[in-house]
Amino acid sequence: MKNWQAMNIASFLTERQGRYKPYDKQIQNIPRLDKIDFSGTIHLSSKPTKTDMIIIEQGDLVISGINVAKGAIAIWQGKRPIAATIHYSSYIFDKEKIDIDFFKRYLKSPVFIKALQAQVKGGIKTEIKAKNLLPLMVNIPPLPIQCKIKKHFETFESKLSNLNNEIENQDKYLIKLRQAILQEAIEGKLTTDWRKNNPVRKGDERYDAEALLEKIKKERNRKERGERKEKMLSPIKAKDMPFALPKGWMWTRLGEICDFQYGKALSEEFRNNNGKYPVYGANGIKNYSNKYNYDKKTIVAGRKGSAGELNLTERYFWALDVTYFIVFNENLLNLQFLYKLLLTLDLPNLAKGVKPGLNRNEVYELIIPIPPLSEQYLIVERVEKRLSFVNNLEIQVKERKIQMGRLWQTVLQDVFDNN
């Protein structure tokens, strides 16, 4: 493009000098920058740090050395200075040479990333400090053209924002739709027609939840005999029941139908196959000998950190800081139905403490609806069919988000690639 000139960034940006120890008096009693998100918003914190600090004054351009190309760039608009760790850098800019909003967009462009990769060893993977940024050679138009380009961006961004808001609303709607499907399932609304054709058959667990619970209770007592005393669960009162049950269903407490156990130590054979199995409850497992597994399909719930987060597992798996829902008789309770039911209970809200975790006794006391066994299987089938439709819609929404990101990068490329 005509009139664009090659120059180094140091010709219009100057790093603000000064480096301070965390306990230095000059940075005491002023807020600390916690992070700059990818939309360019600054978040403050009062948390202490042991890292050396810099000071940021009003009007400074602030850049995250780690995430600059992802959009972690901002202008500090506050009246008072703030502090930041040395993973950030702060710059004074020459208003007669650069429109800072123009330049912020340039820093997010594929052209900047290309220049960075060409001129800095390690490229975008390098933590970008002033010594990396300021010497970079870039092509910049005169200030009036910068202002015109900025207005072009603002118009486009407004339209893009409207599209993104629409996509976000679709995303929220699908989350609510998923929740509504699960809630209708556990209230019996998905199987009304089945119950008309399959009335209650007293004493048959396939068509009578009362008979089903009696058999589960007998199995529970048989397994617990000699191991520990029967769990004393509170009686269910009418005021505790969140909705009216369909005919043939029963209310019970979770502890009546399943146990809530910690994991078992791994066998040597299992440890020797550590690369084969999925991991639950941890981002990665290094010391396999201290982790747990269960030898049947089950439901695991995060116990710490991801407390209450649920997964329906395969037969073998690695796990850390999880507990298992163990049903007393796999032939009397559909595990997938139980999993979908548990998803409606919002278990993370039960997690308490400084390091939130699930309390076993509170989990046992949760009130749940139980349909006859045959109806459980039908509920799972109908829920899966509806959720499959929702999953397809979610994939489409995700693809639209990706397309919006690509469109933005294309516009940045078109504007700044003037060679």
Provide the 8-state DSSP code for 380. Answer: H
Please tell me whether residues 169 and 217 are part of one structural domain: no
* Interatomic CA distance for residues 375 and 347, integer angstroms: 24
Distance CA(157)–CA(167), nearest Å, equals: 15
Same domain, 110 and 247: no
Query: Helix (H, G, I), strand (E, B), or coil: what is residue 205?
Result: coil
- What's the pLDDT at 148? 92
Strand pairing partners for 329? none
| Whether residue 286 sits in one domain with residue 167 | no
Q: Are 342 and 310 in contact (CB under 8 A)?
A: yes
Q: Tokens representing 31?
A: 């807020």
* Domain-located, residue 152: yes
127 with 230, same domain: the answer is no
| Nearest residue to 241 via CA among 231, 254, 233, 252 | 252
Instruction: Write the CATH number for 105.
Output: 3.90.220.20
pLDDT in tens, the chain (419 residues): 568 888 999 999 999 999 999 889 888 888 999 999 888 889 998 888 889 999 999 999 999 888 877 778 889 999 899 999 999 999 999 999 999 999 988 888 888 888 877 777 765 566 888 888 899 888 899 999 999 999 999 999 899 889 989 999 999 999 999 999 999 999 999 999 999 999 999 999 999 999 999 999 888 877 665 454 456 788 899 998 999 999 999 999 998 888 877 655 445 555 555 556 666 655 444 444 444 555 667 787 776 656 677 878 766 666 655 666 777 777 889 999 999 999 998 887 777 766 666 777 888 899 999 999 999 999 999 999 999 999 999 999 999 988 988 888 888 888 887 54
pLDDT at 195: 96
The answer to whether residue 179 is domain-embedded is no
Distance CA 11, CA 26 (A): 29
- 44 and 130 part of one domain: yes
Same domain? For 365 and 219 the reply is yes
User: What values do phi and psi take at 44, rounded to 5?
Assistant: -100, 165
Which domain does 246 fall in, by range? 201-371
> In the prediction, which pLDDT does 273 show?
54
Tell whether 313 and 416 lie within a shared domain: no
Q: Is residue 194 part of a domain?
A: no
Residues 104 and 229 in one domain: no
The answer as to whether 186 is a domain residue is no
Same domain, 112 and 163: no
Give yes or no: residues 399 and 277 share one domain. Answer: no
Distance between CA 217 and CA 214 in Å, rounded?
Answer: 5
Q: Provide the CA 220 distance to its chain's centre, in angstroms.
A: 36
Please check whether residues 123 and 223 belong to one and the same domain.
Answer: no
324: Cα within 13 Å, side-chain hemisphere:
24
User: Which residues touch 7 (CB under 8 Å, ≥6 apart)?
Assistant: 137, 138, 140
The tally of domains found in the chain comes to 3
Structure tokens at 208: 């009578």
Q: Do the domain assignments include residue 184?
A: no
114 and 169 together in one domain = no
Instruction: Please state, in angstroms and rounded to a whole number, the distance separating the CA atoms of residues 228 and 296.
Output: 23
